[in-house]
A and B are shown apart, each in its own frame.
Chain A
């Protein structure tokens, strides 16, 4: 009987989680292979600019560790300085589709918008570019296509000040609308990064003042790690991630615990539950500055609520309050809170998953760096060889499967880095 009660409790928790997350727009399936594509977006990380599409790191971290579906993988196909038009017409078929992705997360527009007012030419080129990309992907058997909008400029960090920022944001907003139209016309999914960034920035400034920003030095592309997390959130939501990482349900009086898929209770004794988890909560790690920036931005971004719910539900505590210890950290909660369920990922930003999460992140960064070369250099240049020396076609063609295979192995290595984590939750009633 107690077991059924636990199951009901788990189902309730899941339902609540889904309602909270809202209706998913797309739905990832087992084995989906996500292609992230767009132009370059340097991220300012500390003092040193790093040329990396950090948001694609975040998305892959989520797919591999938080596992919204099993056996997911991702490749970052960003190409520096390219426009949607050029990428769609000249690059995608060779550099991306030959790898065989099933999902496309498209992000163009920031570079195209530049510092100029919107022109009919820019509108047309952006629209045509997105259309060609969507059409090409569909032909290439890409099942889910997400069109992300350009990012937004921060009036307090934009060169030229508020007036210029407003003018440039007008251009970006127009491109946002075009992306929305194309998504509607082509039955793709729309990810409104622009408005989300404005919203998060506004809230951040309300609390912390003008200095709060997602961008850094007024450069078009200098989105900070917190801004990249906003972008990752938008894409993950668009991909239909429901945010349910798992639920641990504890009956303290019975000395029993159960867990949903992806988590296994190894033991439950004296309020101490040992669990083995193959699904990780998303962790906000990095050096002190990055971790702080990420943990700060989620004050204004419902990342934990919508995408990162690792719930602990405790019944029959036998006291008004209890201390929950997870890893090295302890916190007190009321019995009502615990009976309703707390989100461990939100309540314990430093937790037993942070270290393994960071290790996987290293592997993902390594993988994405390698794949940038595989796609942007090795695959990208194959047609050049065939064009200039047709006699080499047969030989060059044999390199294609080798490049694709190398990429697959790199993704598999990143996935293999996600090993189950054994962790302990201790619940002590506070009398």
Chain B
């Protein structure tokens, strides 16, 4: 009977997830995501974050990611080689262009807008031809209005206008072609606005070198905002799992990638194959801190809900200990459910998450894959008689990519952790 009550409780917990995540999950098991972009993506930070999420938070199983972004790239430039990249058969495509497409001066010329539009359209068409199922056109990011162009705010505003116009181009293309659109530009501006409201106009910037590059090459904070937008566009519902504890009955249950190993004296030992997303950094250097930026970004609410529900506490409050951290919550809070990922920034997943991230990092292809894939069409163009050799080289590259994706997947191992709930009398 108590088991049924627990199941009912779990079902009750589910609407929290579906309500928060409006979109239907568009990813499927074994999807292979390929990220196109310029140097902002080629830095490898948002591909790493997206990969962290796909592999550890597991919105679907056996996901993989390849990044083929290149410094200085435009949608047009990338479209020239899109068909080559598609030979490694991604099922999901994301794009993030704009800074180079705009030409670094305003206003946006019709020619540049057209080139961006044509480039995005060609990438979409090539992706479809290659069998990609889900295509996400990311809007350009934004410049920092207070640091851009050597603190020339007029120039910064002018170029943000260019970027916003390219955002509109991207949105139009996505609509016309019936693909997904990730609104990165406005989201970043919004987060930046909130952060500056708290820290001051020049007290916050996404970029560590804002004065140098106009806030173009955003550090970890801004990269997390990009990641959020892309994951939302993939339809990730943010449900990492739910642990439900009936304290009076001394029982616990878990769903979605989590298994209760034991439950004794309010202490539940759990084995989780899905991790909550973990954040790092502090206020010392805000630009590089993912932990700092989430106060302005609903990452935990929308993408990182690892819920603990506690019933029959027998007191008005309870102390929850997870790993080395302890916090008190009211019984009402615990009955409704608390988000462990948000409440315990340092938690038993922090270390395995960082370890897995280190193992995943560098397995996205990135610069190396670009070095290998990008020239292949040239070999094929200039040495058509050697097609057998170039095909063989491609196969070896493709195999290498698969091996890297498999190795990244293997780096994510189940984590055993303990949650202790003690009523506070």
**Are A388 and B371 in contact, CB atoms less than 8 angstroms apart?**
yes
**Are A370 and B383 in contact, CB atoms less than 8 angstroms apart?**
no
Note all chain B residues with C-beta closer than 8 A to A384: 371-372
Note all chain B residues with C-beta closer than 8 A to A392: 392-393, 396-397
**Are B382 and A374 in contact, CB atoms less than 8 angstroms apart?**
yes
**Are A373 and B378 in contact, CB atoms less than 8 angstroms apart?**
yes
User: How many angstroms from the CA of A385 to the CA of B393 in the assembled complex?
Assistant: 9
Contact with A along B379-405 (1 / 0, CB 8 A): 100110110011011001100100000
Knowing A377-B375, A384-B371, the reply to whether A396 touches B393 (Cβ < 8 A) is: yes
Note all chain A residues with C-beta closer than 8 A to B400: 388-389, 391
The reply on B295 being an interface residue by CB < 8 A is no
Note all chain B residues with C-beta closer than 8 A to A381: 371, 375
**Are B372 and A389 in contact, CB atoms less than 8 angstroms apart?**
yes
Within the complex, what minimum Cβ distance (angstroms) separates A91 from chain B?
Answer: 16
**Are B396 and A373 in contact, CB atoms less than 8 angstroms apart?**
no
Note all chain B residues with C-beta closer than 8 A to A406: 382-383
Note all chain B residues with C-beta closer than 8 A to A403: 383
Note all chain A residues with C-beta closer than 8 A to B386: 398-399, 402
Within the complex, what minimum Cβ distance (angstroms) separates B81 from chain A?
Answer: 13
**Are B382 and A395 in contact, CB atoms less than 8 angstroms apart?**
no
**Are B397 and A389 in contact, CB atoms less than 8 angstroms apart?**
yes
Note all chain A residues with C-beta closer than 8 A to B382: 370, 373-374, 378, 406
The reply on B368 being an interface residue by CB < 8 A is yes
**Are B372 and A388 in contact, CB atoms less than 8 angstroms apart?**
yes
- Chain B interface category by residue count: 10 to 19
Within the complex, what minimum Cβ distance (angstroms) separates A408 from chain B?
Answer: 13
Interface residues in A376-431 (C-beta closer than 8 Å to B): 377-378, 381, 384-385, 388-389, 391-392, 395-396, 398-399, 402-403, 406
Contact among B371, B383, B385, B393 for A395, CB-based, below 8 A: B393
**Are A385 and B372 in contact, CB atoms less than 8 angstroms apart?**
yes
Note all chain A residues with C-beta closer than 8 A to B393: 385, 392, 395-396
**Are B372 and A378 in contact, CB atoms less than 8 angstroms apart?**
no
**Are B378 and A378 in contact, CB atoms less than 8 angstroms apart?**
yes
Knowing A374-B382, A377-B378, A378-B379, the reply to whether A398 touches B389 (Cβ < 8 A) is: yes
User: How many angstroms from the CA of A392 to the CA of B373 in the assembled complex?
Assistant: 13
User: How many angstroms from the CA of A391 to the CA of B392 in the assembled complex?
Assistant: 11
Interface residues in B22-63 (C-beta closer than 8 Å to A): none
User: How many angstroms from the CA of A385 to the CA of B369 in the assembled complex?
Assistant: 10
Chain B minimum-CB-distance residue to A401? B386
Note all chain A residues with C-beta closer than 8 A to B378: 373, 377-378
Knowing A389-B397, A402-B385, the reply to whether A395 touches B392 (Cβ < 8 A) is: yes
Note all chain B residues with C-beta closer than 8 A to A388: 368, 371-372, 400
Note all chain A residues with C-beta closer than 8 A to B368: 388
Chain A minimum-CB-distance residue to B391? A395
A residues contacting the other copy or chain, number (CB 8 A): 19
**Are A389 and B383 in contact, CB atoms less than 8 angstroms apart?**
no
**Are A399 and B383 in contact, CB atoms less than 8 angstroms apart?**
yes
Contact with A along B114-149 (1 / 0, CB 8 A): 000000000000000000000000000000000000
**Are A399 and B389 in contact, CB atoms less than 8 angstroms apart?**
yes
**Are B371 and A389 in contact, CB atoms less than 8 angstroms apart?**
no
User: How many angstroms from the CA of A381 to the CA of B371 in the assembled complex?
Assistant: 8
Within the complex, what minimum Cβ distance (angstroms) separates A157 from chain B?
Answer: 27
**Are A395 and B389 in contact, CB atoms less than 8 angstroms apart?**
yes
Within the complex, what minimum Cβ distance (angstroms) separates B88 from chain A?
Answer: 14
Knowing A388-B372, A395-B389, A398-B389, the reply to whether A378 touches B383 (Cβ < 8 A) is: yes
User: How many angstroms from the CA of A120 to the CA of B375 in the assembled complex?
Assistant: 38
Within the complex, what minimum Cβ distance (angstroms) separates A212 from chain B?
Answer: 36
Within the complex, what minimum Cβ distance (angstroms) separates A382 from chain B?
Answer: 10
Within the complex, what minimum Cβ distance (angstroms) separates B85 from chain A?
Answer: 16
Within the complex, what minimum Cβ distance (angstroms) separates B284 from chain A?
Answer: 36
Within the complex, what minimum Cβ distance (angstroms) separates A336 from chain B?
Answer: 57
Note all chain B residues with C-beta closer than 8 A to A402: 383, 385-386, 389
Note all chain B residues with C-beta closer than 8 A to A374: 382
User: How many angstroms from the CA of A376 to the CA of B115 in the assembled complex?
Assistant: 28
Note all chain A residues with C-beta closer than 8 A to B396: 389, 391-392, 395
Within the complex, what minimum Cβ distance (angstroms) separates A251 from chain B?
Answer: 54
Note all chain A residues with C-beta closer than 8 A to B379: 378, 399
Note all chain B residues with C-beta closer than 8 A to A385: 372, 393
Note all chain A residues with C-beta closer than 8 A to B375: 377-378, 381
Chain A minimum-CB-distance residue to B369? A388
Note all chain B residues with C-beta closer than 8 A to A378: 375, 378-379, 382-383
Interface residues in B339-394 (C-beta closer than 8 Å to A): 368, 371-372, 375, 378-379, 382-383, 385-386, 389-390, 392-393
User: How many angstroms from the CA of A403 to the CA of B385 in the assembled complex?
Assistant: 11
Within the complex, what minimum Cβ distance (angstroms) separates B75 from chain A?
Answer: 23
Chain A minimum-CB-distance residue to B371? A384
Within the complex, what minimum Cβ distance (angstroms) separates A323 from chain B?
Answer: 52
User: How many angstroms from the CA of A399 to the CA of B393 in the assembled complex?
Assistant: 10
Note all chain A residues with C-beta closer than 8 A to B392: 392, 395
User: How many angstroms from the CA of A388 to the CA of B400 in the assembled complex?
Assistant: 10
Within the complex, what minimum Cβ distance (angstroms) separates A94 from chain B?
Answer: 14
User: How many angstroms from the CA of A384 to the CA of B390 in the assembled complex?
Assistant: 14
Chain B minimum-CB-distance residue to A370? B382
Which among A385, A391, A398 has the highest number of chain B CB atoms within 10 Å?
Answer: A385
Note all chain A residues with C-beta closer than 8 A to B371: 381, 384, 388
User: How many angstroms from the CA of A392 to the CA of B375 in the assembled complex?
Assistant: 15
Chain A minimum-CB-distance residue to B392? A395
User: How many angstroms from the CA of A95 to the CA of B399 in the assembled complex?
Assistant: 28
Chain A minimum-CB-distance residue to B390? A399
Chain B minimum-CB-distance residue to A403? B383
User: How many angstroms from the CA of A384 to the CA of B400 in the assembled complex?
Assistant: 14
User: How many angstroms from the CA of A406 to the CA of B381 in the assembled complex?
Assistant: 12
Within the complex, what minimum Cβ distance (angstroms) separates B375 from chain A?
Answer: 5
Contact with B along A211-239 (1 / 0, CB 8 A): 00000000000000000000000000000
Within the complex, what minimum Cβ distance (angstroms) separates A371 from chain B?
Answer: 10
Within the complex, what minimum Cβ distance (angstroms) separates B422 from chain A?
Answer: 54
User: How many angstroms from the CA of A210 to the CA of B62 in the assembled complex?
Assistant: 72
What are 7 inter-chain pairs, A to B, with CB distance below 8 A? A378-B379, A395-B392, A398-B386, A399-B379, A402-B389, A403-B383, A406-B383
CB-CB nearest 4 A-B residue pairs: A392-B396, A395-B392, A402-B386, A381-B375
**7 other A-B residue contacts (CB within 8 Å) besides A398-B389, A402-B385:** A370-B382, A373-B382, A389-B397, A395-B389, A395-B396, A398-B386, A406-B383
